[in-house]
Amino acid sequence: MSELARVDGVRVGFDASRALFGKPRMLWALDGVTLSLTEGRTLGIVGESGSGKSTLGRVLLGLLRPTEGTAHFEANDLGALAPEPLRLLRRHMQLVFQDPYSSLHPRRKVGDAVREPLEVHRPDLTEAQRDERVLSLFEQVGLKAEHLTRLPHEFSGGQRQRIVIARALAAEPKFLVADEPVSALDVSVQAQILNLLLELKQRHHLTMAFISHDLKVIRRVCDDVAVLYLGRVVEQATTEKLFAAPRHPYTRALLSAIPRLGGAPTQRVVLTGEIPSPLAPPSGCTFHPRCPLYAKLSAPDQQRCRAERPLLKDGVACHFAE
């Protein structure tokens, strides 16, 4: 299988001098991320709030230009494309947001909302073909023809997410970025939407980046996982490998919080403190102030953690990972 999208050495910085009363400072939301997405597979991007997950999703879609590094979709360097070719390429790359209500116009009939991408990206279709396609999309996401003329507030949260998914699929994309697509939904509805996404992925041969803070959801949906901490990938592996044998202390702590069905119970590793501010990241390995392994190391090894940034090597960024 071939590579569909990739980012290389991506850094995304925001000028934070205003927040610091004029003191020049960059806030690095992403700080040197390299990863790729293979055609037909789903990459889970997981991490706490503030880890840079959503920023990475937007870079992958060309909605945000990296400050440094490159983002490619197929052979296209998204940062080097002029606005018009980028707009044409967007047909193949779509985003599903966390909050379906805010991504639908409150006074626009949902059938028209799903039809809109066809008007933008498929001028070759006749009106009748567009009608047919909108109806087919509604049926694929479990909605009916009678829903087409209703407004967003007439639907439940799960139904609204179905509408948003139908709209994302309207222009027949190759690549879908789903940014926390079920975290605003009730648990019972989450399972239905995840099943729907899995089914549609098969049916439309989609490649997906699935952003979530919830490892249970990632395990269910994704083929591969990248774990982000403070704008850097700290571990990357196939889902099977990551869940069977996590190597980075941060991944281990995240996994230890998931209750296991059957098998020996794992010892819960509780991380102390919040993720640090990207305005003042810790030196060396940015995870060292919270790292459970760091506390068990010798003084010289701890000094190494504080001084030297670990690079991602063989899928893990830790000087002392097993």
Contact footprint for ligand SF4 (CB under 6 A): 249, 285, 287-288, 291, 293-294, 305, 310, 318-320
Q: Which two tokens stand for residue 169?
A: 């699929």
Q: How far is the CB of 295 from ligand SF4 (least distance, A)?
A: 9
Q: How far is the CB of 318 from ligand SF4 (least distance, A)?
A: 3
Q: Which is nearer to ligand SF4, 155 or 294 (CB)?
A: 294
Spatial strand order of the sheet with 207-212 comes to 93-96, 175-179, 207-212, 42-46, 224-229, 232-238
In angstroms, rounded to a whole number, what is the distance separating the alpha carbons of residues 96 and 197? 11
Q: Which of 143/253 has CB closer to ligand SF4?
A: 253
Closer CB to ligand SF4, 80 or 307, in the complex:
307
- Minimum Å distance from CB 310 to ligand SF4? 5
Closest CB to ligand SF4 among 138 and 294?
Answer: 294
Nearer to ligand SF4 (CB atom), residue 243 or residue 320 = 320
Q: How far is the CB of 314 from ligand SF4 (least distance, A)?
A: 14
Give whichever of 205 and 313 is closer to ligand SF4, judged by the CB atom: 313
Minimum CB–partner distance for residue 122 and ligand SF4 (Å):
48
CB 230 to ligand SF4: min, Å: 11
